[in-house]
Amino acid sequence: MKDLHYCENMKLVDAWYEHDEGCFILNLNRVATEIDLQENHYLEEVGQIIETIAIKVRYCPYCGKKVDGASTSLSPSFVHYDFSKW
């Protein structure tokens, strides 16, 4: 398995890369803050994952490095998961 890109710019957020069927995928989580808990009573605790988005990429958007193993042809797409509702 190829080493996935480790980006210094991503270390403070809940973000990671994965490699799936020739595509490099950037995953980002949005986690609940105290304000989110006040506005949405379905949420239970600070730090709970509210949303996850997975985006196919060829280059890291935070440092510009081309990610190893990324497909040369890539159609833009993303997957969005919303965990803020029942």
Contacts of 42 (CB under 8 A, 6+ apart): 84, 85, 86
Minimum separation from the CB atom of position 18 to Zn ion (A): 14
CA distances from 34 to 8, 12, 25, 43, 44 (A): 27, 18, 29, 10, 10
Single out the residue of 4, 7, 37, 53 in contact with Zn ion (rule: CB under 5 A). 7
Residue number, 4 or 37, with CB nearest to Zn ion: 4
Residue number, 2 or 41, with CB nearest to Zn ion: 2
The pair of structure tokens assigned to 30 is: 């949005």
What residues between 24 and 83 interact with Zn ion by CB under 5 A?
A: 60, 62-63
Report the interface residues with Zn ion, using CB under 5 A.
7, 60, 62-63
